[in-house]
Amino acid sequence: MTTFKRNIASVVAPATGLTEEAVESVITLPQHEGQGDFSFPCFPLAKTLRQAPAAIAIDLAKRLQPPPGFVKIEALNGYLNFFVDKSDFASQVISEIIQNGPAYGNNAQGTGKIIAIDFSSPNMGKELAFHHLRGTMIGNSLSRIYHKNGYKVERINHLGDWGTSYGKLIVMFLRAGLGEADLPTLTLERLNALYRDFDAASKQNPGLEDEARQAFAKLESNDAFYRILWASFREVTLHELRRLYAILNVEFDAYVGEAFFADRLESVLELLKSKNLLRESQGAEVVDLEAFGMPPALIRKTDGSTLYITRDLAAALYRREHYGFEHCFYVVDNGQSLHFQQLFKVLELLGMDWHGRCEHIPFGLVLIKSEDGGWEKGKTRTGQSSLLKDVLEAARDKILGIMAEKNPDLAGSHEIATRIAVGALVFSELKNRRLNDIRFEWDQALSFEGDSGPYVQNAHVRLCSILRKTGLDRKAWTVADLNGIRWEIFTDSSSLALVDLLAQYPDKVVTASLSRDPCPLAQYALSVADAVHRFIHDCRVLGVPEERERLLLVHAAKSVLGSALELIGVPAIESM
């Protein structure tokens, strides 16, 4: 792909006076048939050459000889269209895929650089709701994408495990008559129920809020019994989280929750004071951000306790010191953009010259139907949101039904059904741009038709199935397999369309990293799946004279599609 662009640049640059880099950067891929394979738009030349773009294109088309790898140059509508030698193109693309193996699509953009990425980060004592899937999978996918771009990625789960909320849990735990003896059998479900009980009970008994604050104060002062309760609650939460993350195939390098920063808060306050940023306001301590068009950042409450942003300041300072990151990403929903604007501004005011390396990566909200029929943000606390484990189970069960009908040989395989369910749910989260709000509806969440995860997974399955029939599914392909390949076999439109897409993979890996959005890769996987299904439909592979060549393409397509699926976190399964 890059060699083809470079070859175009090598003939266009001298004829136009542009640099080769400038030519390469404007080369586009045409959208319609008859427009060649690469295009150079002549419009920007109109001014300097004082000629109409169409005339420039016609003139260039006459004067230029097709560069290596090309057979024809044509002028059309002010574009200079280059037609590749199809055999040559297929040869270059497929050879590159075979030579690189799983490293195809890798680049060195991030070599030697570290990215700290904070995602998922649920609250202790609460079950994962369906809406947590979005941030979790966006963060997971971005981690993999940046890794493929050469970065070292540190995945951080910034567990919400400190604050008055945990006073609430302790209060309700004790009020329910539970004690240390009950800890071994405690479940996350039970803890989550205690939360809801607290909300209900505190409406009747407003004094409960005070009790919770006192309980948290006692926890903060390291009361031994309260520390044991807290540690158990945390372990129960982590146990269930790890179970779900395993199903989703999501991993973290660190579970560093807010509690970890508890004893660093004083030094944050000292730092703010030393820079003369802290002001007293209505009995609380704030950093005034009015000059920047923002409300003040509330650092310390009237009762002396600290807040979210105080802990986030401590976390940012720690991460910078501990990881020395190039970028620090916060994958958190769009509703918190003000918080992050304030956080980054305070870091700037503190004189942290790296504040610009911190970046909020917002995503749209998951809305649920409200009582009046409108749509609103779902809240775990009130129990309106569906639990992630329930949605996963429902999806798996529905898929088991479909499998029984479509592939009785595999019927009953919970493992495969689960992987299809994960693929379906994850793909529908990531195929759209991350800032779009999503409306949760059961019917839609459990719809597996059309442009869906299963459709893309099925393309991979069909490729695997063909390879399996020849015993080549576990083969390690090498450049030796390219000897004697008749590249002209790939010049039919279905094969060529597939080859063309495979060639675009490295660019898509970069695009996704620059937009900080898995969406381009999900869309790409979809178009590869389209091309695969069409290829399999149009081109018989086994038992035909072209078998050897087509098996090579099948393997190349499987390899690239599998890689793209891995990047977005959709399981690349081999049968379904």
Cβ of residue 158: shortest distance to RNA, in angstroms? 9
Q: Among 6-14, 101-109, 137-145, 364-372, which window interacts with RNA (CB under 7 A)?
A: 364-372
Out of 283, 351, 408, 471, name the contact with RNA by CB under 7 A: 283
Which of 11, 12, 16, 39 forms a contact with RNA (CB under 7 A)?
A: 39
Residue placing its CB nearer to RNA in the complex, 353 or 371 = 371
Which among 192-200, 348-356, 403-411, 483-491 is the span making contact with RNA, rule CB under 7 A?
403-411
Distances (CA, A) of 503 to 3, 220, 490, 528: 11, 57, 14, 11
Query: Is residue 120 a contact point for RNA (CB under 7 A)?
Result: no
Stretch that binds RNA, among 15-23, 148-156, 198-206, 291-299 (CB under 7 A): 291-299
**Beta bridge partner(s), residue 70:** 84
CB atoms within 10 A of CB 276: 8
Helix (H) or strand (E) holding 278: strand 278-281
Give the nearest distance from C-beta 181 to RNA in angstroms. Answer: 29
Indicate the residue among 329 and 448 with the shorter CB distance to RNA.
Answer: 448
Residue 319 in contact with RNA, rule: CB under 7 A: no
365 binds RNA (CB under 7 A): yes
Q: Where is 439: in which H helix or E strand?
A: strand 438-439
**Is 525 one of the binding residues for RNA (CB under 7 A)?**
no
How far is the C-alpha of 332 from the C-alpha of 336, rounded, in Å? 7
Torsion of CA 59, 61, 67, 71, to 10 degrees: -160
Q: Rule CB under 7 A: which of 237-276 touch RNA? A: 258
CB nearer to RNA: pick between 152 and 209: 209
Tokens of 285: 């301590």
Nearer residue to RNA within complex by CB, 15 or 99: 15
Piece of 41-49, 95-103, 170-178, 321-329 that binds RNA (CB under 7 A): 41-49
Q: Which of 17, 44, 324, 412 binds RNA (CB under 7 A)?
A: 44
How many angstroms separate the Cα of 250 from the Cα of each of 128, 142, 281, 446, 562? 14, 12, 43, 21, 17
Binding residue (CB under 7 A) for RNA from 86, 155, 462, 508: 462
Question: Which of 109, 249, 465, 491 is close enough to bind RNA by CB under 7 A?
Answer: 465
List the interface residues with RNA, window 483-512 (CB under 7 A). 511
Does 48 help bind RNA (rule: CB under 7 A)? no
Distance from C-alpha of 355 to C-alpha of 347, rounded to nearest angstrom: 6
Q: Does 12 bind RNA (CB under 7 A)?
A: no
- Rounded to a whole number of angstroms, the minimum distance from the CB of residue 483 to RNA is 22
**Among 437, 473, 488, 566, contact with RNA (rule: CB under 7 A):** 437
Is 293 one of the binding residues for RNA (CB under 7 A)?
A: yes
H-assigned helices in 446-504: 453-469, 493-503
- Residue 194 near RNA by CB under 7 A: no
- Number of residues forming the site for RNA (CB under 7 A): 102
Q: Which residues pair with 298 in a beta bridge?
A: 286
Which of 145, 403 has the CB closer to RNA?
403
DSSP per residue, 326-345:
SEEEEEEEGGGHHHHHHHHH
Q: Look at residue 287 and give its three-state secondary structure.
A: strand
* 532 close to 459: Cβ distance less than 8 angstroms: yes
Instruction: Map the footprint of RNA across residues 139-158, applying CB under 7 A.
Output: none
Kindly state whether residue 451 participates in binding RNA, applying the rule CB under 7 A.
Answer: yes
Binding RNA (rule: CB under 7 A), the pick from 5, 10, 20, 41 is 41
Shortest distance (Å) from residue 227 CB to RNA: 18
The reply to whether 118 sits near RNA by the rule CB under 7 A is no
Run of H or E including 137: helix 132-148
CB of 494 to RNA, least distance (A): 8
Q: Which two tokens stand for residue 535?
A: 């290829």
Candidates 147, 301, 369, 548; binder of RNA (CB under 7 A) is: 301
Q: Which is nearer to RNA, 247 or 367 (CB)?
A: 367
Q: What is the residue whose two structure tokens read 């049968």?
A: 575
Residue 539 interacts with RNA (CB under 7 A)?
yes
Angle among Cα 57, 58, 63 to the nearest 5 degrees reads 95
Among 147, 433, 516, 548, indicate the residue that binds RNA (CB under 7 A): 433
Q: Does 432 participate in binding RNA (rule CB under 7 A)? A: yes
Does residue 318 interact with RNA by CB under 7 A?
no
Q: In DSSP terms, which residues pair with 368 in a beta bridge?
A: 376
Tokens of 244: 């779900």
Q: Which stretch binds RNA (CB under 7 A): 9-17, 71-79, 319-327, 351-359?
A: 71-79
In Å, what is the CA distance from 19 to each residue of 193, 343, 362? 66, 43, 38
Which of 185, 221, 222, 282 binds RNA (CB under 7 A)? It is: 282
Q: Which is nearer to RNA, 189 or 376 (CB)?
A: 376
Radius of gyration of the chain (CA): 28
Please select the residue that binds RNA; options are 160, 518, 562, 571, rule is CB under 7 A: 160
| End-to-end Cα separation, the chain, in angstroms | 34
CA 77 to chain centre: 39
Alpha-carbon distance of 467 to 550, in angstroms, equals 11
Q: Does 78 bind RNA (CB under 7 A)?
A: yes
314 by Cβ neighbours in 10 Å (0-12 / 13-18 / 19+) ranks as buried
Of 365, 377, 122, 149, which is closest to residue 141 (Cα–Cα)?
Answer: 149
Q: Where are the alpha helices (DSSP H) in 249-284?
A: 265-274
